[in-house]
Structure 1
């Protein structure tokens, strides 16, 4: 299925206001409520809309520190990559894990209370990940820009 301009408008609105009512969404994208509901349902069914979530404030949850961790593995064999990916996916403090092309094999996005908490996460979890040859951590000083909205 290809997206037309109306689908793109629906997706743009929903990315920023996931709890908008169907009536308000229909009005914003200039559709009848029933046509809007059908389109949203189709976008969900076809996998363009994966899920609806609540974005939480890390400061309110006492995890304001973001750390980006570059991981280099000891090898590139499938079993090494699979073991690493399975283990890292079980660490609750890791929000994202990306397989990279470049100097690092993986980049992790980790949240922590502070540097002491990150030291605990490193000691209890990251240092025990299988296949890791080298690890380098960089602390974010401030988030300048952040969005979850994809360009549509």
Structure 2
């Protein structure tokens, strides 16, 4: 990956809807080489997809919490069941397995506190292998969805 590829990645992180023509102009390449580089970045996995970034507040998802999960059991089957079940909960935007205690960090959105409480009691607390949940509320985003440094 060279400097031109990094410029392509930076431009696409800023605006993923650029046409190849617009992208080529921004990185100062002719159309064909830009298109070849873009396809190679996609093929290599450097670009894993394209999506729209939605505004949670506009969609009524104004409540956000970070939930720390400590597992009772951490055998392979329990961890696999826990992680698989997480994929079925759309309010869990991110789930990260951690070294040490706690075992997982979840980023969760909901419409409001009662909706979060229902999610917490009915879905999160019943996940396989969970010993303890601890949550904290997000007051504000200081750095949010920052592009990767390329």
Q: TM-score, normalized by length of structure 2?
A: 0.97
Deviation beyond 3 Å, 4+ runs, structure 1: none
Give the aligned partner of residue 53 of structure 1. 51
Tell me the residue number matched to 1:130.
128
**Equivalents in 1 of 2:63, 2:11: separation in Å?**
30
Partner of 2:98: 100
Q: 5+ unaligned residues in a row in structure 1: which ranges? A: none
CA contact (8 A) 1:10 1:25 kept: yes
Distance 1:150 1:51 in 2: 14
1:1-152 equivalences in 2 (<5 Å): 3-152=1-150
Q: Give how far 1:119 is off.
A: 0.4
Q: Report the RMSD for the aligned CA atoms in angstroms.
A: 0.9
In structure 2, C-alpha distance between the alignment counterparts of 1:104 and 1:16, rounded to whole Å = 34
Q: Distance in 1 between matches of 2:112 and 2:143?
A: 21
Aligned residues: 150
User: Is contact 1:84-1:129 (8 Å) kept?
Assistant: yes
- Whether the 8 Å CA contact 1:7–1:39 is kept in 2: the answer is yes
Offset at residue 102 of structure 1 (A): 2.7
TM-score of the superposed pair, with normalisation by structure 1: 0.95
C-alpha distance in 1, partners of 2:107/2:145? 15
Deviations 1:83-127 (A, max 9, x none): 110111111110111000132100000001111110011122101
Q: CA deviation at 1:61?
A: 0.6
1:7-37: CA deviation from partner (whole Å, max 9, x where unpaired): 0110011011000111111111110011111
Q: How far apart, in 1, do the equivalents of 2:146 and 2:17 lie?
A: 15
